[in-house]
Amino acid sequence: MSGVVLLGIVVFIFFRKDGLKASHAVVTMLFGFYLASTAIAPSIKAGGESLASLLGGIKF
């Protein structure tokens, strides 16, 4: 099992169990750093940029 999958499961459990505490935030950051080094990182970045441009275009 890869580190990304393991940390993803841990982050999910933290969110479901009792919210996100400071120690949980550290695990979440580690998950993000490991996820950034995988092959799916460019797709996640493109999706985030697309969402940001969509939200930036909304007029209130």
Write the CA distances from 57 to 18, 46, 49, 52, integer angstroms.
35, 17, 12, 9
**pLDDT (0 to 100) of residue 8:** 75
Q: Spell out the residues 6+ positions from residue 7 whose beta carbon is closer than 8 angstroms to its own.
A: 27, 30, 31, 34
pTM for the model stands at 0.51
Share of the chain above pLDDT 90, in %: 0
Place of tokens 């969402």: 51
Q: What is the pLDDT of residues 24-43, one digit of tens each?
A: 777 777 778 877 888 888 88
Note the pLDDT of residue 20: 67
